Amino acid sequence: MTVERLLPVNGVELCVRTSGDPADPAVLLIAGSNSSLTSWPDEFCARLTGRHVIRYDHRDTGRSVTYPPGEPGYGFPELVGDAVGVLDALGVASAHVVGLSMGGGIAQVVAVDHPDRVTTLTLIATSPAAPGAGDLPGLSPEALEYFTTLSQPDWSDRASVVEHFVGVQRWFTVGEFDEDAVRAAIEHDHDRTSSFQSAGNHDLLHGGPDWEGRLEAVTAPTLVLHGDRDPLFALPHADALVDLIPDATLVVLRGVGHELPKSSWDVVVPAILDHTEV
């Protein structure tokens, strides 16, 4: 059974969607920057059998609280607090925490600051959420050129906005690109979101305390899943996570970019199920 509801979390309202039996082990999925809970497809969640799957809209995405574009009333620490707050609102003492991209950064900090709330940790397409990880590669030249020349859509025009994000998703995708499916997903997300432009507030967030050296304190069993063709965080970012987090395990997703394509699920889903079988 899937249930979606607005819940009070840390003084704001966040939209939370749960599926599966609440008596089963909880898996908290934390989406990336600018992304809502729909970035975790229903079919992907359904394949996490025997798990109580929890997704939520970050602030400024989906049906959650929205702030004016360019004026986020929060920082990265608040997004970390929201992840824990969602568990509190649902009465979940501890969860298997899975984070993708920015969500992986949030998940790392939750694991450091709230170790009792994290049963296991899974990090997908992300980078160490701390300085001191060594000289890691930045954006690829192609990525740098793409993002520095990317123009903004007409936010008042649905078609312009959808076309813009179809193009962004096309750039992130390695291999076959299912434009019809991507377009339908973006249209759905647009139509359930009160201010699609406000998601850009995530790009303006400031950090919190200095977490340098603290990833070594992670006690949760950690799985790192990373595409070998990620143009945003090249594979050395995943290697750094494995070096910093005690006993972390790396699974390289061959032919995958900064994404979680359906073609990778036959590797990703069994890996997560095995990792969360504790």
Choice between 150 and 46, residue whose per-residue pLDDT is larger:
46
pLDDT > 90? residue 129: no
Tell me the two tokens of residue 239.
Answer: 């290697």
Indicate whether this model's pTM tops 0.85. yes
Whether 206 is catalytic: no
The total number of structural domains that make up the chain: 1
pLDDT band at 134 (very low <50, low <70, confident <90, very high): low
pLDDT, position 56: 98
Is 96 contained in some domain? yes
Strands of 95-100's sheet in order across: 2-9, 12-19, 52-56, 26-30, 95-100, 118-124, 222-227, 249-253
62 neighbors 192 (Cβ within 8 angstroms): yes
Q: What is the mean pLDDT of the chain?
A: 93
pLDDT band at 214 (very low <50, low <70, confident <90, very high): confident
Sign of CA dihedral 168, 169, 170, 172: positive
pLDDT, position 213: 57
Active-site residue identified among 164, 237, 258, 275: 258
Whether 58 is catalytic: no
pLDDT band at 174 (very low <50, low <70, confident <90, very high): confident
30 neighbors 118 (Cβ within 8 angstroms): no
The pLDDT tens digits for 4-23 are: 999 999 999 999 999 999 99
Query: Which residue(s) pair with 52 in the sheet?
Result: 26
CATH of the domain at 30: 3.40.50.1820
Is 124 contained in some domain? yes
pLDDT > 70? residue 36: yes
pLDDT > 60? residue 209: no
Is 217 contained in some domain? yes
Is 190 contained in some domain? no
Q: Other CB atoms closer than 10 Å to residue 262's CB: what's the count?
A: 14
The pLDDT tens digits for 89-113 are: 999 999 999 999 999 999 999 999 9
Is 234 contained in some domain? yes
73 neighbors 201 (Cβ within 8 angstroms): no
Is 43 contained in some domain? yes
26 neighbors 118 (Cβ within 8 angstroms): no
pLDDT, position 208: 60
The pLDDT tens digits for 49-93 are: 999 999 999 999 999 999 999 999 999 999 999 999 999 999 999
Range of the domain at 30: 2-138+195-275
**Closest Cα partner for 202 from 8, 33, 24?**
33
The pLDDT tens digits for 147-171 are: 889 899 999 999 999 999 999 998 8
**Closest Cα partner for 117 from 218, 242, 16, 243?**
218
Active-site residue identified among 101, 127, 198, 264: 101
State which amino acid sits at residue 91: G
Active-site residue identified among 19, 35, 230, 275: 230
65 neighbors 193 (Cβ within 8 angstroms): no
d(CA 238, CA 224): 7
Is 30 contained in some domain? yes
d(CA 196, CA 192): 9
d(CA 226, CA 82): 25
Whether 164 is catalytic: no
pLDDT band at 206 (very low <50, low <70, confident <90, very high): confident
